């Protein structure tokens, strides 16, 4: 069974640009959640999507957004990039409710903002 | 104040030693997760607990809901156990992470 696939794995952007990251969950998993990991702040929850609806959201500005498609694939977008957005962005999928089911993580997308 | 506190932050052990990593949390939770992250970034979910104790191979996780505390134990540690171990809790619509424990097991 294929795991969680994140693309791209690495990318470099400049301040002010926007970026879109993609996450394909394990087949049959309906929940996709996104996380940001930085050396200073550690892992932080961004948001969760379930059946194409954002169900939960962490404490991030509106520049961070996402969506989920009918096949459960999810994208997250960061607009007007800032240097502090440089991070490893991880997604995870689970069968159902975030937190009450085991999470399977992707390998992450490492974003560098110059 | 962090909702999830882990200790120790760093841990070095000799191969074969018994290891304990602790996690305390300050909020009511629906579940607690133990995650393992190797250099390079990949995260693996080790356990999800809402009560009691779980065991998988050499790894054991326990949780005490009344004391808001969980422990991850590694028996007969091995260099391949070297990684960062992260405790995370889910509460309602939110997910909170500890800062992680960096474990190095020396041959």
Cross-chain residue pair B97–A45, CB shorter than 8 Å: yes
Between A and B, how many residue pairs show a Cβ–Cβ distance under 8 A?
Answer: 61
Give me the pLDDT at residue B1, please: 63
Q: B67-71, long-range: CB within 8 Å, 24+ apart, which pairs?
A: B68/B24, B68/B25, B68/B26, B69/B22, B69/B23, B69/B24, B69/B25, B70/B22, B70/B23, B70/B24, B70/B25, B70/B32, B70/B34, B71/B20, B71/B21, B71/B22, B71/B23
A95 lies within 8 A of chain B by CB? no
How open is the CA angle B55-A27-B53, to the nearest 5 degrees?
15
Q: A31 pairs with which residues across the strands? A: A50, A94
pLDDT in tens, B29-71: 889 999 999 987 789 999 999 999 999 999 999 999 999 999 9
Structure confidence at residue A18 (pLDDT): 98
Structure tokens at A17: 């640009």
Separation CA A57–CA B42 (nearest Å): 23
Inter-chain residue contact B41 with A58, CB threshold 8 Å: no
* Contact call for residues A48 and A31 (beta carbons, < 8 A): yes
Q: Which residues of B touch A100 (CB under 8 A)?
A: 30-31, 48, 50, 90
Read off the pLDDT of each residue in B5-30 and give the average, rounded to a whole number.
Answer: 95
pLDDT value for A1: 63
Q: Can you give the pLDDT at residue A47? A: 93
CA distance A93 to A55: 14
* Interface mutation target, options A58, A99, A103, A106, chain B, most CBs of B under 10 Å: A99
Q: Does A45 touch chain B (CB under 8 A)?
A: yes
User: Contact at 8 Å (CB) between A66 and A34?
Assistant: yes
Is B45 close to A101, i.e. CB distance below 8 A? no
Placement of tokens 């070297």 in the chain: B82
Contacting residues of B for A90, CB less than 8 Å apart: 41, 43
**How far apart are the C-alpha atoms of A47 and A18, rounded to whole Å?**
18
- List pLDDT tens digits, range A26-85: 999 999 999 999 988 899 999 999 999 998 889 999 999 999 999 999 999 999 999 999
């Amino acid at each position: 069974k294929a795991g969680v696939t994140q693309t791209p794995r690495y990318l470099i952007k400049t301040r002010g640009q926007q970026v879109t990251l993609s996450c394909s969950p394990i087949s049959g998993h309906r929940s996709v959640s996104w996380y940001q990991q930085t050396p200073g702040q550690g892992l932080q929850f961004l948001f969760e999507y379930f059946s194409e609806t954002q169900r939960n959201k962490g404490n991030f500005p509106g520049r961070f957004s996402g969506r989920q498609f009918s096949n459960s694939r999810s994208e997250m977008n960061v607009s007007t990039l800032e240097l502090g957005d440089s991070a490893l962005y991880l997604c995870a999928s689970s069968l159902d409710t975030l937190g009450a089911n085991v999470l399977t993580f992707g390998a992450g997308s490492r974003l560098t903002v110059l | 104040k962090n909702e999830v506190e882990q200790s120790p932050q760093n841990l070095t052990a000799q191969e074969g030693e018994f290891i304990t990593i602790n996690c305390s949390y300050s909020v009511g939770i629906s579940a607690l997760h133990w995650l393992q992250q190797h250099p390079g970034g990949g995260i693996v979910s080790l356990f999800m607990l809402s009560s009691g104790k779980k065991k998988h191979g050499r790894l054991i996780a326990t949780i005490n809901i009344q004391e808001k505390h969980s422990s991850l134990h590694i028996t007969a540690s091995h260099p391949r156990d070297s990684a960062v171990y992260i405790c995370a809790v889910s509460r309602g619509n939110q997910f909170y992470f500890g800062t992680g424990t960096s474990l190095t097991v020396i041959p």
